[in-house]
Amino acid sequence: MAHPGGRHFLQIPGPTNVPDRVLRAIDSPTIDHRGPEFAKLAREVLVGIRKVFKTANPVIIFPSSGTGAWEAALVNTLSPGDRILMYETGWFASLWRGIADKHGLRVEILPGDWRHGVDPAAIEEKLAADKEHSIKAVCAVHNETSTGVASRIQEVRAAIDRARHPALFLVDTISSLGSIDYRHDEWKVDVTVGGSQKGLMLPPGLSFNALSPKALAAAKTAKLHRSYWEWEPMLQANESGFFPYTPATNLLYGLREALRMLDEEGLENVFRRHRRHGEATRRAVRAWGLELNAVDEREHSDSLTAIRMPAGQDADKLRAVILERFDMSLGQGLGKLKGKLFRIGHLGAFNDLTLAGTLAGVEMGLKLAHVPFSPGGVVAALDHLASTSS
Ligand SMILES: Cc1ncc(COP(=O)(O)O)c(C=O)c1O
């Protein structure tokens, strides 16, 4: 398409479409980050963000992509040689493991098939066998963006409790925060990792660590090297509304606006909206006769859907046709899933008609790319949207 009219459809599972309100907020003069006006802004977002994590404890805001917040979660709480338990839910769990390896942590990663979430029973078994409590942390990715699988974090917490194990619990919510229900305090998570570019509807560039008192205590004795990612100077400076180094001022304007939008809609309504869109998308996939990558119904992600291609069909070719003909970007298969599946992002600033347009683009693309499928997915999704609209 040489000159596409209208808006590009950015339906990858993050970065997501940034609402005009947020773009307008970012488009403001950059102010003195050591002045009184900045302190007011910082205090507002530092308190406001707690609501999204469902925590009464401090949340750190880094000027970085999510990868930085992954590293921060590890280096602030652990020491060289510490044993940690991870679960291979997919590409992103594997990347987090890579950071742990580079820092000299002894990682035990429970193997997964990239179609299921963290198995709470497997975690319980490992922890119960660790009588000397040599495992210092359990790390889990809540919503595995590469597979469209959402792990049952509350059940993993219950498994850790049943094993009566004191390990820290570190959870990545980069593609679930602000779109799928998540409760940092209630689920006794010690560090929750977040990012700006998905459910929070911001551009990439901010990342988060929500903390627990246990995580703060661990930071006092943790020996891994840290400087940029160190929580302590952040917490100290944040108390008076400042940062130890130059913050991403304009993204914080955007964050303030995004938090207002989430507040106006109400977080529970935001989750409900994502559940409807997740379910409508899955109905479309089934009607097309295609296969969802997520196997267990309890683990279907409501922020994205990963769809497996029929044998012999290339997902990247389909995505290229859809981009070329309909100006829509869809998520690619990552790592060993390259070419085998594509991913539809339905999170962030997203409504019924955005989903209708997205699914229409996929259905037309399937036809044009000669992928064997049954028409009718869009109709199945619209039926669900209409019957659950209130
Ligand atoms: C679940 C998850 N964790 C971590 C990351 C890495 O974040 P970033 O690419 O912002 O560094 C991503 C990115 O998409 C993700 O989806």
Q: What residues form DSSP beta bridges with 192?
A: 171, 210
User: pLDDT tens-digit profile of 333-381?
Assistant: 999 999 999 999 999 999 999 999 999 999 999 999 999 999 999 999 9
Percent of the chain with pLDDT over 70: 99
The model's confidence at residue 14, banded by pLDDT at 50, 70 and 90, is very high
Omega within 30 of 0 (cis) for the link into 375: no
Share of the chain above pLDDT 90, in %: 98
pLDDT tens digits along 246-298: 999 999 999 999 999 999 999 999 999 999 999 999 999 999 999 999 999 99
The end-to-end CA distance of the chain, in Å, is 37
Kindly give the distance from the C-alpha atom of residue 260 to the centroid of ligand 1, in angstroms, as a whole number: 24
> What pLDDT score was predicted for residue 164?
98
- 333 CA distance to ligand 1 middle (Å): 14
Ligand 1 atom index nearest CA of 70: 4
Structure tokens at 36: 């009184």
Residue 1 scores a pLDDT above 70: no
Residue 390: per-residue pLDDT: 81
Ligand 1 pocket test: which of 87, 175, 193 has the largest number of ligand atoms within 8 Å of its C-beta? Answer: 175
Within the chain, residue ranges assigned H as helices are 20-26, 36-53, 66-75, 91-102, 120-129, 153-162, 213-221, 231-239, 249-265, 267-288, 315-326, 352-368, 377-388
Ligand 1 center from residue 233 Cα (angstroms):
25
* pLDDT of 2 strictly over 80: no
Nearest CA to ligand 1 atom 2: 174
Calculate how far, in angstroms, residue 271's C-alpha sits from the geometric centre of ligand 1: 20
User: Residue 4's pLDDT band (boundaries 50, 70, 90)?
Assistant: confident
Taking only the tens place, the pLDDT of each residue in 305-320 is 999 999 999 999 999 9
How high does pLDDT run on average in the chain? 98
Q: Average pLDDT in the 85-99 region? A: 98
Distance 89 CA to ligand 1 centre (A): 14
- The string of pLDDT tens digits covering residues 130-158 is 999 999 999 999 999 999 999 999 999 99
At 107, is the secondary structure helix, strand, or coil?
strand
DSSP, residue by residue, 239-298: HTT--SS---HHHHHHHHHHHHHHHHH-HHHHHHHHHHHHHHHHHHHHHHT-EES---GG
Q: How many CB atoms lie within 10 A of CB 104?
A: 13
Q: How far is the CA of 314 from the centre of ligand 1 (A)?
A: 24
The answer to whether residues 9 and 326 touch, using CB atoms and an 8 Å cutoff, is yes
Pocket of ligand 1 (CB under 6 A): 14, 65-67, 92, 141, 145, 172, 174-175, 195, 204
Question: Per residue in 166-223, pLDDT tens?
Answer: 999 999 999 999 999 999 999 999 999 999 999 999 999 999 999 999 999 999 999 9
Tell if the pTM clears 0.95, that is, is over it. yes
Q: How far apart are the CA of 67 and the centre of ligand 1, in A?
A: 6
DSSP 210: E
Going by CA atoms, what residue is nearest to atom 8 of ligand 1? Answer: 66
DSSP string of 331-371, one letter each residue? BPP-GGGTTTEEEEE--SS--HHHHHHHHHHHHHHHHHTT-
Give kind and range of the element (H or E) at residue 141. strand 135-141
Ligand 1, atom 7, lies closest to the CA of 66
